[in-house]
Structure 1
């Protein structure tokens, strides 16, 4: 009898707990599905504001797109450096047709150039705006995978963008991600990968609003911390990404990559300076490409006499970035192997588009128009003889995985 009463009591208690849990169930619609982190670190020096003016214009475009879309479709956090030693993290909130900024945290110094410093910022964003998915937009200077410490000589003080109508002066592009005026404000791609890895986040995508970031070395370095990489093989004009038309397509738990790339292309083909290229790389498929490339490298040696005939996608006197598809087509003379490689590469390039030519203004008095004849959507530096490449390429994860 006592045993029966005990079972009855236990059953009632269990039923009560279940009923209580049912009443407190979380509505799946209340869960934040996407947090987009817009990361804009300092890009100048103690006497130069770098790209701050451009960043403010980019933020205006993002906020304009949010107003037009009547909401953020998730949460949007911005990390912005306003000086060499002052940065802030805030949220962009849409309320009744208006944009509001909610301050989250202030930061002193430039610890964001270290893996632990950047990881701390990302963890602050993660704690404040937890989500099922995270995405990151990185604005700044960029010359691909190259290491800041390997640049001992650069043709001119460099910036991300080519033109700035407000200043009415030609602005050459950058030499590496971060600040070009003072490399104490710069960071290598490997540092970014390490920082994101420390947070335990795997980004839905990383969009680089920078020059020269759609290269196999960068994509491979980031493959474990992002599903997709969105970037340009070449230089980016001063206005950067056309956020008014691209934002709605990317600020979503299910980004529309094809339409975003098409929006970029449609904007730039009609722009005053009609030059641009954009690619979405599926980083989850790069290990297969690396394995394929290692086998090809073990079988074939590139004929350096063909270097001058390769499709170049930068404006350096000694090129750094060559079209990857074109390079492998000249390297691998076995038709079956080449077909297998091309199949893998096509699978990894989720979407890509380019104008007829791209523009380079690295050298102040000799801008260049580079005709695109062959384009796979991603570049490689393997055939480059540029001293910066020779100093740095053996340090990359890509080189070590494929040689």
Structure 2
């Protein structure tokens, strides 16, 4: 009888503990892939940015692998639908089934390009939509490496005038604790060596445009199947970039676009090669006076007024610096960094030289832009590429 009582108590205790475990089991299933689209739309292109949500919804049914697509929306043109910044998601099974939009969290009015908010939203995604792998899309205004100021120099974002410098954005990404398969910038002037070097530890690949991006943005209805793919990250990134070019070449009513896919773990080696070239050809830097830089702006500049003189084709700069003899080790390493590049410029916004186009830009210090020069010296690329050693 004593043994029976002990056995009975053991069974009861086991049942009790099991029940407690069930009641407190709040774990969220881990998806294979979660993509976050972070849209900062409280600005003059709010309507166009919002259209990307519908474009994603069109593309989700074409996804062939299961996953979670999350969107953070902070925009001024849809106060009825989204009165406050909102995080919502769609679940896809990879067989054509897509869940209805599900709101994950709403936020009080906030600066969506502050370091704190970016970190908090990314951590919320990690908590509510855990996954084996993550990717990230940023959509807003941008001006690349340039410092935030009161003019149109935004670096990244425009949330009712608020912006974030690229080094601060890089810190926020690091603080989130997430490493991304890729980061796509649906924003202007982001394919620059200065930007890529700052973000080299945040993702395996960067998908960016060296020049302006049309306000229509990327064709998500075509690309979403690649955005959520958990297979070959490099090929998925290249497929995304190819769809971008195909759209602006064949479907959109304005034939303009530039794109590049950057492999981040190769960019440190590119900085080393560049530093060696800078030292070897230091004497040639005197050629880059105002007249030469103006020539570069006209022929290889990616930025238009008031952002002209902020970024030029990187390969064109190295060609000029080396008297037309681009070292083979530079060419080889540039090819390892920029694994895909293309453009369409039937309707020219800037001049693209097909013989030199590298898909990535760079800054050349200019005596007429003292504030830009001062900020350029704070970027990691400045010292990594040897600019500090040549005194510019």
TM range (shorter): 0.7 to 0.9
Q: Which one of 308, 327, 332 corresponds to residue 338 of structure 1?
A: 327
Please give the residue correspondences for 1:2-401 in structure 2 after superposition, counting only pairs within 5 Å.
31-44=30-43, 50-69=44-63, 73-83=66-76, 86-94=84-92, 97=97, 99-149=99-149, 152-154=150-152, 175-179=154-158, 182=161, 185-254=162-231, 255=233, 256-270=236-250, 271-301=252-282, 302=285, 303-304=287-288, 306-307=292-293, 308-309=295-296, 311-316=300-305, 318-333=308-323, 335=325, 338-356=327-345, 359-360=348-349, 369-373=350-354, 374-384=356-366, 387=369, 389-401=372-384
Instruction: Give the TM-score taking structure 2 as reference length.
Output: 0.79
User: Which range is displaced more, 369-378 or 289-298?
Assistant: 369-378
Segment of structure 1 superposing worse, 112-121 or 231-240 = 112-121
Any stretches of 5+ residues in structure 2 without a counterpart? 1-28, 388-392
How far off its partner does 1:31 sit? 4.9
| Aligned 8 A contact 1:233 1:279 in 2 | yes
Deviations 1:12-49 (A, max 9, x none): xxxxxxxxxxxxxxxxxx852211010012432xxxxx
User: Cα offset for 1:376?
Assistant: 0.5
Any gaps of 5 or more consecutive residues in structure 1? Answer: 1-29, 45-49, 155-173, 361-368
Which stretch shows the higher mean deviation, 35-44 or 130-139?
A: 35-44
Contact 1:43/1:178 (8 A) holds in 2? no
- Separation (CA, whole Å) in 2 of partners of 1:106 and 1:354: 39
SS in 2 for 1:76: strand
RMSD in angstroms over aligned alpha carbons? 2.5
TM-score by length of 1: 0.77
CA–CA distance in structure 2, aligned partners of residues 180 and 129 of structure 1: 25
* 2-structure distance, mates of 1:352, 1:80: 29
CA distance in 2, matches of 1:355, 1:268: 7
Q: Is the 8 A contact 1:177 1:187 kept in 2?
A: yes
Q: Is the 8 A contact 2:122 2:176 kept in 1?
A: yes
In 2 relative to 1, CA 43–299 (structure 1 residues): closer, same or farther, beyond 3 Å? farther
Contact 1:324 1:379 in 2 (8 A): yes
Contact 2:173/2:202 (8 A) holds in 1: yes
Deviation at 1:333, TM superposition (A): 4.2
